[in-house]
Amino acid sequence: MATGSRPTLSPRASRSGPLRRVSASRRWSSSPVASQFPCAVSRRTDRLGRANYLHGGSILDEAHRRATGAVSGPRTAPAHRGVVRGARWPLFVGIASVVVILDLVTKAWVLAHLEVGRPMPIIGDLLQLSLSHNTGALFGLFRDSAPLFAVVSLAVIGLIVGYEARAGSNWLASVALGLLFGGAIGNLADRIRLGYVVDFVDAGIGTLRWYDFNVADASISCAILLLVALAIWPRLGEPKAALPAGSVPESEGTPAGD
C-alpha cells in the first residue's frame, strides 16, 4: 500500500449506519451472554430495530425531498386553499343576498300593480304576470300549510348553512347553496309577514299551464339542478391545484428532444 493513499473500504465496511446497527444487534443475539438472557436479547433487538427503522425512514424522506426538488423543512399547506376557503362565504352570502333582494323587490311591485285574477300578458299567452297567494310549498303544493312550512323553512335554512360550512373549496357548491338559501329566505319572509307566499309568474300554452312561481322558487329550482349535477359529477367546480412558487409545469420543463 502506498504511503498517504486512503485505504479502500470493502462494500461491507462502507455500509450505512442503520445496517451497522443491525449487524451489532445480530452479534449481541449470538453472544454467550445473550443465550443466558433471551428476554434481554428480544428487548435490545426491538429497540435497535425501531431506531434503525426511524433513522432509515428519515434518510429516505430526505432523499425523496431532494430528488423531487422540494425544500427541506416543515411542510406547510398550499396557500391557495386558504384563499379559496376564505372566498366561499362571500360568494355564498353575495348570491343569497341578490336572490333575496330581487325576490322582495319583484313581489313588492306585483302587490302594488296587480290584482288577483287579472293577469298582465308579457309574451302573449305563453308568459304572463298573474298575482296569486300561495299558502303551501313550492309551486303551490300542499296548500293551507303556511305555519308548518315556516317551521320547515327555518330547519332547512340551518341545514343549508351547515352544508356550506362543509362545502370545501367547491365554488359551484357555494353558488348552489347560496341560491337555495336566498330562495328559502325570500319565501320565509312572505310566510312570516303575510301568511302566504306571493307568486306571480304564469307560464304555459293554452290551458296547459305550469304552477305559478316567483324569483325565490326559480332560484330554488336552479339550486336543485346544480346539486344534482354535483352529485353526478363531483369534480365540477373544484379549483385547479396550484403549482409551488418558481416551479414549471412538466410539459414546459421537459426539453423537446427528450
Catalytic residues: 199, 217
Q: Collapsing DSSP states into helix, strand and coil, what is residue 77?
A: coil
The secondary structure of 171-216 as a DSSP string is HHHHHHHHHHHHHHHHHHHHHHHTSSEEEEEEEEETTEEPPPB-HH
Hey, is 131 helix, strand or coil?
A: strand
| DSSP class of 118 | B
Q: Which residues pair with 205 in a beta bridge?
A: 208
With beta carbons less than 8 A apart as the criterion, state whether 174 and 166 touch: no
- Which amino acid, 174? S
Q: Partners of 120 in the beta sheet?
A: 129
Assigned C-alpha cell, 206: 293554452
User: Contact at 8 Å (CB) between 129 and 114?
Assistant: yes
What are the b/e assignments for 232-247, b being 16+ CB within 10 Å?
A: eeeeebbeeeeeeeee
What does the DSSP 8-state code read for residue 235?
Answer: T
Backbone angles phi, psi at 206, to 5 degrees: 60, -125
Alpha-carbon span 87 to 81, nearest angstrom: 10
45 vs 34: CA distance, rounded Å: 11
